[in-house]
Structure 1
Amino acid sequence: MRATPLALPDVLLFEPKVFGDERGFFYESFNQKVFEEAVGKPVHFVQDNHSRSAQGVLRGLHYQVKQAQGKLVRVTHGEVFDVAVDLRRSSANFGKWVGVHLSASNRAQLWVPEGFAHGFVVLSESAEFLYKTTDYWAPEHERSVAWDDPDLAIDWPISEAPTLSAKDANAPRLMDAEVFA
């Protein structure tokens, strides 16, 4: 598995080595040792989540202000455009974002560390999205930032308004959001 730092160096793209033939394929989707060497610290995952969404659904930008979650995300069916936004006020990259295409065919995974907001939009007819988290879901600490905040200027690869949850439709702009120190 190859780990590549992206434009925000704490965010990593993991790409597996796939072995395939006429019977199908095999690849190692997670290796704790390889992962921790790439991240540069011990990481303990406590929860796995699985969602399915229709084309045009945008989920995010989500994070937890307490019980912050690192997320290792991947797509097992379909394709999404996945985004991480640095919400650490002390970071030189505060308010900057990085986005990648994740799909069942590229089998890539994105590491979104604690202190970042995360979101994705479904580009295919539907997509199944799996992710590991480093802390448990805590709805009382969950926050959102507006997906279309002009200060973030995320270049979502969509041509029409996405389908949003009520929470995401009413998310505040970054300038009004509770963020990390």
Structure 2
Amino acid sequence: MTRIYVACGLTHVPTQDFDEYVKTIHEIAASASNSIPGADVKYALVNSDPQLAERAAEEKARLCYIWDRRMVEEADVVIAEASFPSTGLGIELQIAETSGTPVVLLYRDFGHNWAPRKSYVNPNDEGHHELQVGDGFITLMALGLPNVFKAAQYDSIEGAVSIVRENLSLLANRQAFDD
């Protein structure tokens, strides 16, 4: 059975985007489940956040880390929706990298979720430098992870679903070839 973890950053999703973002995560998970017969798909909106709501406040952070880490460690592939900045998502990506788990990174331009170009001056050379922000959606450090199988921008829920299906098929074919 293939185990898939759908990672996402929910904390800093603006209120006006939250409902659509949550719908996108649910659709990505459904697509992953439908793409690979018998796949076990897990993600925070279903497999940890509702359970955390039932716990005492002083337990939540520890349990969130334990449960989400376990889902990443047990996954054969991670699909990461990375449209909004998230420390937790960054941690999950690093856990996946340590395990050698392939990651499909998805992101969408919501019109206000990109980092603009910035410049700075260093005291040692007083030269002007441009902060390296790539395209401004996903940090270059995350894009540079060696286990990133694909990084792709989408423009609709249907586009995200298409990217998920295509890349899960490619990963499944690669796995069959490697076996």
Q: Would you say same fold, with TM above 0.5? A: no
The structure in which a higher percent of residues are strand is: 1
The structure in which a higher percent of residues are helix is: 2
Scaled by the length of structure 1, what TM-score is found?
A: 0.29
Higher relative contact order at CA 8 Å, sep ≥6: structure 1 or structure 2?
1
Scaled by the length of structure 2, what TM-score is found?
A: 0.29
Answer with 1 or 2: which has the greater Rg.
2
